[in-house]
């Protein structure tokens, strides 16, 4: 369940969406792609180039998914048919939807494989998924997305199952393609440092709602919401020695379990009775957005005196 989620992404911009597991990050991306489970109840609106996405049906919805939005998932092996070749996977849409046949379809597929860093694309087209590493399969997924020529990319933790070196390579490919093609990108991750290095802005999500949005560099250096500050403090740091990592007390809440008012109130060291007495609004603070009634007060508190600013 997600609620009161508001995000804007401009062409060529990357927006990170971070938060603990179960906070609603993947559900947000699936809602944008219209991939919610049958019977899901929706409200509000999703606009793509001013067009209401939730009302799209039939051919209009297929066109939106084909050339408007594309999604890259966590585990590429789960989304590629293991008994068909990479060439079959990449050319199927070209053949069935765009009418590109034979050698031309394979030429385009090989060219886009080269674009995502897979040399010898023609040979790769004849291979099966089990013959490729996880990093190579993720590149194939990105290539299949590029063949659709989308304008919005939804990347749902696409490097989770990869080693650090491969993760860096895949992220460099995504960033280069975003800039080169002017793609808008929503990047979902648990890694705040990765979001800071890749994304222009970062949104922090908890219990199905957005708690804070600001530029990635500012959020990393000067968090406004106590939850964001707690996430940043829980990161291991090379430059700091500590006996143990600082953890956020309590357990993450789903939207169904969140208390009235601020959803983070029962885990927040700065919570007051008023924090749970009324819903918290995502309000503007110095050009940034934060859902905390005490944000300005905590921001101005001296460090070491309970303030949020680091």
Q: Alpha-carbon distance 254 to 251, whole Å?
A: 10
User: Would you say residue 306 has pLDDT above 50?
Assistant: no
Q: Alpha-carbon distance 10 to 28, whole Å?
A: 17
- Residue-level pLDDT at 189: 92
Per-residue confidence band for 46, with pLDDT thresholds at 50, 70 and 90: very high
User: Would you say residue 292 has pLDDT above 90?
Assistant: yes
> Exposed (0-12), middle (13-18) or buried (19+): which is 287, by Cβ within 10 Å?
exposed
**pLDDT, average across residues 287-293:** 93
User: Would you say residue 257 has pLDDT above 90?
Assistant: no
- Residue-level pLDDT at 162: 78
Distance in Å from the first CA to the final CA of the chain? 32
- Residue-level pLDDT at 66: 82
Tokens describing residue 43: 């409200």
- Residue-level pLDDT at 308: 59
Which residues have a Cβ under 8 Å from the Cβ of 195 and sit 6 or more positions away? 16, 18, 187, 189, 202, 216
User: Would you say residue 161 has pLDDT above 90?
Assistant: no
Tokens describing residue 252: 């993450």
- CA gyration radius for the chain? 21
**pLDDT, average across residues 82-109:** 89
Residue 92 φ then ψ, to 5°: -55, -50
Which residues have a Cβ under 8 Å from the Cβ of 61 and sit 6 or more positions away? 34
- Residue-level pLDDT at 301: 62
Tokens describing residue 178: 């975003």
pTM, 2 dp? 0.89
Which residues have a Cβ under 8 Å from the Cβ of 75 and sit 6 or more positions away? 160, 161
Helix (H) or strand (E) holding 125: helix 121-125
User: Would you say residue 289 has pLDDT above 70?
Assistant: yes
pLDDT, tens only, 259-278? 788 999 999 999 999 998 88
Per-residue confidence band for 47, with pLDDT thresholds at 50, 70 and 90: very high
- Name residue 203's beta-bridge partners: 17, 213
Q: Alpha-carbon distance 310 to 208, whole Å?
A: 26
- Residue-level pLDDT at 309: 46
- Residue-level pLDDT at 164: 82
- Residue-level pLDDT at 240: 66
Question: What's the mean per-residue pLDDT of the chain?
Answer: 88
DSSP 67: I
Give percent of the chain above pLDDT 70: 95
Angle at 95 between CA 89 and CA 99, to 5 degrees: 160
H helix count then E strand count, the chain: 12, 10
- Residue-level pLDDT at 305: 42
Residue 130 φ then ψ, to 5°: -70, -15
Contact yes or no for 199/16 (Cβ under 8 A): yes
């Amino acid at each position: 369940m997600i609620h009161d989620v508001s995000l804007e992404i401009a062409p060529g911009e990357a927006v990170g969406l971070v938060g603990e597991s179960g906070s609603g990050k993947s559900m947000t991306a699936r809602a944008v792609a219209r991939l919610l489970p049958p019977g899901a109840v929706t409200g509000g609106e999703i606009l793509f180039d001013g067009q209401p996405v939730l009302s799209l049906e039939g051919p209009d919805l297929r066109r939106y998914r084909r050339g408007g939005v594309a999604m890259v998932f966590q585990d590429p092996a789960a989304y590629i048919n293991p008994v068909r070749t990479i060439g079959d996977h990449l050319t199927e849409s070209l053949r069935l939807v765009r009418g590109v046949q034979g050698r031309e379809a394979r030429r385009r597929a090989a060219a886009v494989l080269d674009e995502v860093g897979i040399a010898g694309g023609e040979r790769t087209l004849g291979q099966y998924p089990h013959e490729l590493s996880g990093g190579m399969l993720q590149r194939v997924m990105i290539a299949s997305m590029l063949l659709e020529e989308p304008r919005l990319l939804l990347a749902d933790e696409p490097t989770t199952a990869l080693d650090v070196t491969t993760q860096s390579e895949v992220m460099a490919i995504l960033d280069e393609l975003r800039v080169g093609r002017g793609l808008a990108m929503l990047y979902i991750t648990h890694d705040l440092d990765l979001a800071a290095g890749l994304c222009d802005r970062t949104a922090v999500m908890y219990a199905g709602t957005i708690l804070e949005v600001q530029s990635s560099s500012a959020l990393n250096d000067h968090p406004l919401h106590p939850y964001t500050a707690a996430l940043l403090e829980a990161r291991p740091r090379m430059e700091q020695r500590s006996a143990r990592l600082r953890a956020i007390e309590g357990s993450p809440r789903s939207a169904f379990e969140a208390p009235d008012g601020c959803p983070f109130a029962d885990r927040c060291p700065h919570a007051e009775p008023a924090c749970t007495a009324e819903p918290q609004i995502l309000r503007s603070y110095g050009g940034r957005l934060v859902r905390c009634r005490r944000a300005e007060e905590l921001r101005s508190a001296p460090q070491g005196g309970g303030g949020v600013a680091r």
